[in-house]
Structure formats: C-alpha cells, structure tokens
Structure 1
Amino acid sequence: MRDINCGSVPVCEGKKVVGMMTDRDIVLNCVADGKDCSSIHCHDVMTSDVITCSPDTDAHECARLMSDNQIRRIPVVQNGELVGICAIGDLATVNIHINEAGDALSDISRPLQ
C-alpha cells in the first residue's frame, strides 16, 4: 500500500471480494495492538463485512452508501466478481449535486455515536 500510495485494497479469493483492508485497519488492528505486522495476514486486519455496489449503481446511491456506512471506497461487483472501486474522489468528477460528495465526506469523517 505504501509503495503505490494507496489507502485501501480489496481482499479477494479469485475475483470475489471477501474483505477490504485499509491503512486504518492496519493501524487499529495491528500497530496499536503492538503486533508484528510482518507476521499478520490480511484476514487478521481486514473488514470482512464489505459494502458493495454494481456498475449500474448511480452516483447519488454511492454517495449515500459511503455516508451511511462511513466509508470512502466501495468495491464495484458484477456477477459476484470485482470489476472496480468507486472512491469518494470519483464522485466529485461526475455530475451530481454540488455538495453531495462533500456532504458524504463530512458524514464519513464524523465520530460514531
């Protein structure tokens, strides 16, 4: 992740998404616990309850999913296989309401109650 300047990666078995691993997951589930990160596997730190969308999901729905689930990236799945990732930054490049991507980011960044 550091080598390619990436904050998250999908974890797959074949082409099926089984988890997402973020830099935050690594910090909270490995570094903060004082574990040796070189001996930890993806499944030890990844989020396995993955929110996904399809290629047909519109930008408004993606923004809502990100906001509701406080996530910045959603794997795009078609016929059970990973075909892409929709990131919060991608929403800023499409023709959606001017504040929707910003509102989603604000919701994602708020502390959980």
Structure 2
Amino acid sequence: MMQVRDVMSSNVETCSGQDSLQTISSKMESLNVGAIPVVDNGQVVGMVTDRDLALRGIGHDGVDNASQVMSNNIVTINADASLEEASALMSQHQIRRLPVVENGNLVGMVSLGDLSTHELSNESAGEALTQISQNDFQ
C-alpha cells in the first residue's frame, strides 16, 4: 500500500508568522504555489493561501504579516498514512493540500494533484475532488 511519503513533495518552502505579505506573495509567485505553511520551531502553526492574501491581507490597514492572515486550524497528516486516508481527510475538511508531519515536524506537503497522479488512488482522489468541488459551488 502506498503511503503519503511516497507521493508528497518534500522540498516545501515555508514562512514564519512574522514574514511580510509581500515576502509570502513573492514566494508563491516564484514557486508557482497557492499555499505556504507557516512554521514555528519545525511545527506547522498555520497556512497562508493566495485566497487568504486576497481576502484578509491586501487593502486591509494594519495587516502586514503572515500571522494576521493565516488559517489557524490546520489539518495535517502523518507521512506513513495511506493515500486513502489523505484523500478522506481532504474530502472531510474540503481542502486540496495537507502538510505532512513526522513527530509533529513538517516533512512535506501532499496535494490532491499528488494523489490523482497515482493510479492506486485515482478513485479516492476523484471522490475527494468531487466532494471539494461540490462545496465550492454551494
């Protein structure tokens, strides 16, 4: 059975809660990603998405760093979890990306796209995408 560690991206760019919105935006652009985990002492404490920047950051007076716009209730997954577990978590929480942790520390990131590129999990990823997409339009 394939595990999350088999498909995750392990070279994950992170930011700190003190990083400026400009710094985060530049990282997203150069890496062509839509989300960056906020890490404090190796632990994931939040996530900043392009949507967070657009809705909570840009144009809001006094908002100038990651800790002010990040999502706090972060769902993570263990590196040795199955792809089906990852897919189920994404469906349940209506999210497309999961930070991957080992002993509480960030070791990677797994996305819905990562799941869908592996044949064993195509059905699970398809189901997750269906669930997430349906909610987008409700």
TM-score, normalising length: structure 2: 0.72
Matched, 1:16 2:34: no
Residue 27 (structure 1) shift = 1.4
Residue 97 (structure 1) shift = 4.6
Tell me which protein shows more helix as a share of its residues.
Answer: 2
Matched, 1:90 2:114: yes
**Structure 2 counterpart of 1:104, one-letter code:** A
**Structure 2 counterpart of 1:10, one-letter code:** P
Query: How many residues of Structure 1 are paired with residues of Structure 2 in the alignment?
Result: 110
CA RMSD in angstroms, aligned pairs only: 1.9
Q: Which of 1 and 2 has higher RCO (CA within 8 Å, sep 6+)? A: 2
SS of the aligned residue for 1:43 comes to helix
The equivalent residue for 1:69 is 93
Matched, 1:35 2:60: yes
TM-score, normalising length: structure 1: 0.86
> Percentage identity across aligned positions?
43
Matched, 1:4 2:4: no
Q: Give the gaps of 5 or more residues in structure 1.
A: none
Q: Give the gaps of 5 or more residues in structure 2.
A: 1-27
Residue 82 (structure 1) shift = 0.3
Q: 1:17-46: per-residue Cα shift (whole Å, max 9, x none)?
A: 100111111112123xx3259x52101111
Instruction: Say if 2:115 and 2:121, in contact at 8 Å, map to a contact too.
Output: no
**Structure 1 counterpart of 2:92, one-letter code:** D
**Structure 1 counterpart of 2:60, one-letter code:** K
